[in-house]
Amino acid sequence: MREKLPNSDLTLAEALVAFRQHHGLHQKYADMREGAKAHFERHDMVHVLFGLDTSIRQEAQADGWTLFGTDISLRDVRDFMDLPEEKELIKEVGWATIAKGCLRAITDYPVIAWKSRKLRRKWRWSDNADYRSWTVARIRREFWIERALSA
């Protein structure tokens, strides 16, 4: 039997709160400007839906799922990277650590690209408010989201 992905029985809104609390992000999120909150919330939705944690490698995987498994635009990516909160996070983590994590995840990207083709449709990056009241399990069934990667 396949292991159940985390937060399946919670609504997406509840799962986002649980994700932030579990990873110690609640206060950091609360302190953000509203525009930044929207971008980081969308990023956190990818973590929740694909069952990813906040390790550097799984952050890199979340970025892969965002690029291949959502309808994010290049403008959205640029806007996200221009946020002072994102720049501060990069500075906090450090470019060397980020580069190592991306290198460790380099073999994950082709797998993510292939698996994203099997989704029923791409996750909506911006227009997803209606899904907040759905359970995470229901969203995963709707989009055909399975375990993000085996490791």
Could you read off the pLDDT of 68-123 as tens digits, one per residue? Answer: 999 999 999 999 999 999 999 999 999 999 999 889 889 999 999 999 999 999 99
Tell me the pLDDT band of 148, cut-offs 50, 70 and 90.
low
Sign of CA dihedral 30, 75, 61, 48: positive
Encode burial over 50-85: b for 16+ CB neighbours within 10 A, e otherwise. bbbeeebbbbbbbbbbbebbbebeeebeeebeebeb
Q: Place 30 in a pLDDT band, splitting at 50, 70 and 90.
A: confident
Confidence label for 29 from pLDDT (cuts 50, 70 and 90): confident
AA identity, residue 109: Y
Q: What pLDDT does 26 receive?
A: 86
C-alpha to C-alpha distance for 31 and 85, rounded to whole angstroms: 10
Main-chain dihedrals φ then ψ at residue 11, nearest 5 degrees: -70, 165
Maximum distance among all alpha carbons in the chain?
A: 44
Indicate the pLDDT class of residue 1, thresholds 50, 70 and 90.
Answer: very low
